[in-house]
Amino acid sequence: MVMSTRPVLLLAVLLAWISSHGALAALPPEIHHGIDLSLDPATGNMKVRDTFQWAGRGPIKFRLAGWLKVTRASIDGQNREIRQQDGYWYVPGNGPPGREVTLTISGGLPPLNDQPGARAGNAGFSGRAGSYLPMAEPWIAYVDVPWIRFRLQVSVPAAYRAVATGRLISEETRDGRYTATFEADYPTEYPTVFAGEYVVNELMSDGVRLRTYFPERSVSLAEEYLRQAAAYIAQYSRRIGAYPYTEFHVIAAPIPVGLGFPGATYVSARILHLPFMRGRSLAHEIMHNWWGNAVGIDFMNGNWAEGLTTYLADYALAETQGPDAAREMRLRWLQSFAAVPPELDVPVLRFVSKTHDRAQAIGYSKVAFIFHMLRREIGDAAFDSGLREFWRANKFRIAGWRDLRAAFEKSAGSDLRWFFEQWINERGAPKVSLESAARTTENGQHLIAFELDQGGRVFRAHVPIVIETASGEVRKSVTMTARRQAFRIPVPSGAVSLRVDPDFNIFRLLLSGEAPTVFRDITLSSATVVAVPSKDKRVATTAAAIGHALLERDMTVISEPGQRAKDRPLLFIGTTSEYDAWRKLEGPGDAPDILARGTGRAWTQPAPNHPGMLIITANSAADLASLARLLPHYRHQSFLVFEGHKVIEKGVWQVTEGPLAYRFQE
Ligand SMILES: [Zn+2]
C-alpha cells in the first residue's frame, strides 16, 4: 500500500536557516511572491514571472531546479546582470531593503520517466498524463525561509485544468487557455502546481470548496470522495477548530504516491478506487491540514505531527469500529516497536521523517501511542481542550513538543514534565512482567497480591489490571514508579485470573508469547506445512492457490493427519466437512464455535506444545473460491468470517494465558 510521504525540502531549509541564524524565534517575516506561470503539459515547456521584495541589503541569492534558468532579472524596474554559482543564482549588487525583484524563468519540465525522484513525489515532471511542479523542487526563486505568502496565476491550454495550493480566487477559459488564480495570504509552504486532463467536480460544504481533479475514467468516484472529505473536515473542525483553508482538493496523480499539501492531496489515480484510499488514507491527509500544514513542524526538536495525525485520524477511525479494532491498532504499534533492535532505538525527539520502517515504528507508532497515554492520563475532556489550545496558539506558526506540553499542561491544570521527559526525551519503553501472583485474605477481605517488574530503566506508568472473579470483572490500575513493586488489590471472593494490561493501553515492550497468534505468525514461518485433504479437484486446486497466495513460496503439502510433523506450524485448507473429519482423526474435542458461522472462515488455533495452526474452511468449493481473493489482505487477524465474498467478522483473539496472565488453581 502506498503510504504518505512528505517532501523533505522544508526540513533542509529549516536546518539551513537555523544553523545560520540560531533560534526559531528569529524566523524572518514571510516574503510575498507574485507568480505568473504558463505551462504546456504536453511538452513540459514552462515560463514563470516571479516578483518579490528582497529584505536584505546584499545581493539577491536563491535556488532553482536544474532544468530551469533565469532569462531576465530586474530590480525596481531596472534590468540587471544574473550569475550562477555553487547551485545558487545571484543578482549582484547592494541596495536598501525592500527592493522589488522580478525574474523571468523558463525551462522544460522533464518527462515523468526521466526524472529521478519523480516517483517519490520529490521531483517535477510533465506529460499528457499529468504535470507536477512540487514545492520540493524550486520552480520560483527559493530563498532559505520555510514559509512565504503568494499570489499565483497559472495558465494551461484549454484541454487541461491546473490547480495549486492556496485559495482559488478566479478561473476562466478564454482564447484556448484555461487560467486560474490562487492566493495564500497566510504563511505557508512554497506553492505546488498540478495539471492534467482533469474533469473537475465540486461540492461546497460549510464555506469550504471541495474539489476532485480526476481523469475521465475515475469520475464516478468523485461524489464519494467529496462526501467523505466534507464529513472528515466537519468532524475534525468540531473537535480541533475550524478547518484552516478555504479549499480541499483531491488530485489524481500518474505516479504511485499519496502526498499531502496545504488544502490538497495528490493520490495515485490507479488506487483511487480502493476503499482504504477514500477512508483511512483520506482522513489522514485531511488531518495533516491541522498538523504539519497549518501548524508547521519544528523539525530540530522532533516531528510530532505524524504521530498526532495518526492518532486523531487513523486511530479515531479504528475507535469508531469498536474497542476490538482500536485495541488491535495499539497492539500493532507495540509489535512494530518490538521489532526495532534496542541499539537502533532513538528518543522521539530525534524522529524527523519516515525514511525506513524503524523510523516509522518510532515516529508514527510510538508517538501515536504517547498521545493515547496522554489522553488516559489527563482524561478525554482535558485532552480535547488541550488540542484546541495547541491549535489556537500555533495556527500558521511552527511548533514543537514544548508547545504541545504547554497546551496540555494548561488544559489539564497539572505539571506534565515527567510525562514528556520520559516519553519524548528518553528512548525505550518499560518491559513489564508479572513476577508472582497469589490469592490471600486479610481481616476477612479477599486480596490479590502480585509483583510487577519493568526491566531496565524506570518509567512511571499506570498499569491496568483486570481480575476475573466469580462475581464479575474487577478493573484497576496500579502505578509503577520503581523497577520492581508489590501490589495488593481487594476483590470479591473467588478470583479466577489476573491479567496485566490485557488491552495494551501502556507503551511497553511486548514479552514473547504475549501477543495473540495472527495469520502472519503461521504464514511467515518457513516451517509451515500445508494440509489439503480434499479428493475434490476443484477444492484441491483452490486450496493450493490460497496456500501459494498466503505463503508466497514453495509449499510442503500433506493430505492426512498422520503425515504431520507435530513440531511444525500447520495451514489447513478445505471444506467444513473435510475439516470435521480431520479434526476427529486428530483426537477428541469440541468443534470450535466459529465453524457454524458464515459460508467460510479462517482462524488461528493455538495448541498446547504446538507452534500453532491456521485453519481455512468453507461450506463448498464455490465458497472457498469466494474467500480466496480477500484472505491475503488480513494477515494481522486471528479470525475472519466470510459470507460469500464479504468479510462479516474479524478480529484478534484475547490472550487468556501468557506471561502477563495468571490463572489461579482451583
Ligand atoms: Zn502522515
Q: What is residue 370's predicted lDDT score, i.e. its pLDDT? A: 97
Distance 326 CA to ligand 1 centre (A): 19
Distance 139 CA to ligand 1 centre (A): 25
Domain boundary among 146, 171, 197: 197
User: Would residue 603 count as lying in a domain?
Assistant: yes
| The 3-state secondary structure of 175-198, one letter per residue | CCEEEEEEEEEEEECCCCEEEECC
User: Would residue 657 count as lying in a domain?
Assistant: no
Distance 168 CA to ligand 1 centre (A): 25
Average confidence (pLDDT) per 10 residues, the chain, 666 residues: 38 45 49 96 97 90 94 95 93 91 96 77 90 93 89 98 97 97 95 97 97 97 98 98 98 92 95 91 96 91 93 97 91 85 84 69 92 97 98 96 97 97 94 94 92 93 94 94 96 90 95 80 82 94 92 86 80 93 76 84 76 90 91 88 92 79 85
Residues 158 and 22 in one domain: yes
Nearest to 312 by CA among 329, 336, 299: 329
User: Would residue 81 count as lying in a domain?
Assistant: yes
User: Would residue 213 count as lying in a domain?
Assistant: no
- Characterize 538-556 residue by residue with b for buried, 16 or more Cβ atoms within 10 angstroms of its Cβ, and e for exposed: ebbebbbebbeebbeeebe
Distance 407 CA to ligand 1 centre (A): 22
Query: Quick check: helix, strand or coil at residue 27?
Result: coil
Please provide residue 453's backbone torsions phi and psi, each rounded to the nearest 5 degrees: -130, 140
Q: Report residue 654 CA to chain centroid gap.
A: 25
Query: CB neighbours (10 Å) of residue 482?
Result: 11
Distance 314 CA to ligand 1 centre (A): 10
Distance 306 CA to ligand 1 centre (A): 5
Q: What is residue 21's predicted lDDT score, i.e. its pLDDT? A: 41
The answer for residues whose C-beta is within 8 angstroms of residue 338's C-beta and 6 or more apart is 509, 510
Distance 313 CA to ligand 1 centre (A): 10
Residues 414 and 455 in one domain: no
User: Would residue 550 count as lying in a domain?
Assistant: yes
Residues 480 and 623 in one domain: no
Residues 479 and 595 in one domain: no
User: Would residue 239 count as lying in a domain?
Assistant: no
- 318: domain CATH number is 1.10.390.10
Single-letter amino acid, residue 585: L
Distance 258 CA to ligand 1 centre (A): 9
Distance 111 CA to ligand 1 centre (A): 28
Residues 62 and 150 in one domain: yes
Distance 295 CA to ligand 1 centre (A): 14
- 569: domain CATH number is 3.30.379
User: Would residue 494 count as lying in a domain?
Assistant: yes
Structural domain harbouring 140:
9-197
Residues 64 and 20 in one domain: yes
Q: What is residue 23's predicted lDDT score, i.e. its pLDDT? A: 40
Residues 627 and 532 in one domain: yes
| Ion ligand 1 — residues with CB < 5 Å | 4, 306
Q: What is residue 344's predicted lDDT score, i.e. its pLDDT? A: 82
Domain count, the chain: 4
Distance 5 CA to ligand 1 centre (A): 7
Q: What is residue 356's predicted lDDT score, i.e. its pLDDT? A: 59
The answer for residues whose C-beta is within 8 angstroms of residue 446's C-beta and 6 or more apart is 439, 440, 490, 491, 492, 493, 494, 495
Does the predicted interface ipTM exceed a cut of 0.95?
A: yes
Cα-Cα-Cα-Cα dihedral sign, residues 593, 595, 598, 600: positive
Distance 114 CA to ligand 1 centre (A): 27
User: Distances in Å between the alpha carbon of 557 and those of 250, 523, 530, 543, 617?
Assistant: 47, 14, 5, 11, 16
- 150: domain CATH number is 2.60.40.1730
Residues 408 and 312 in one domain: yes
Cα-Cα-Cα-Cα dihedral sign, residues 533, 538, 541, 547: negative
Distance 162 CA to ligand 1 centre (A): 25
Distance 353 CA to ligand 1 centre (A): 9
Residues 494 and 589 in one domain: no
Residues 496 and 540 in one domain: no
Distance 501 CA to ligand 1 centre (A): 28
Cα-Cα-Cα-Cα dihedral sign, residues 626, 630, 635, 636: negative
**Long-range contact pairs involving 81-88 (C-beta distance under 8 Å, separation at least 24):** 87/63, 88/61, 88/62, 88/63
Q: What is residue 14's predicted lDDT score, i.e. its pLDDT? A: 46
Residues 398 and 470 in one domain: no
Cα-Cα-Cα-Cα dihedral sign, residues 591, 592, 598, 603: negative
Distance 292 CA to ligand 1 centre (A): 8
Domain boundary among 372, 390, 425: 425
Nearest to 127 by CA among 116, 115, 139, 140: 115
Q: What is residue 517's predicted lDDT score, i.e. its pLDDT? A: 81
Distance 241 CA to ligand 1 centre (A): 19
Cα-Cα-Cα-Cα dihedral sign, residues 357, 363, 368, 369: positive
Residues 529 and 637 in one domain: yes
Distance 397 CA to ligand 1 centre (A): 19
User: Would residue 664 count as lying in a domain?
Assistant: no
Domain boundary among 174, 197, 220: 197
Nearest to 29 by CA among 103, 101, 97: 97
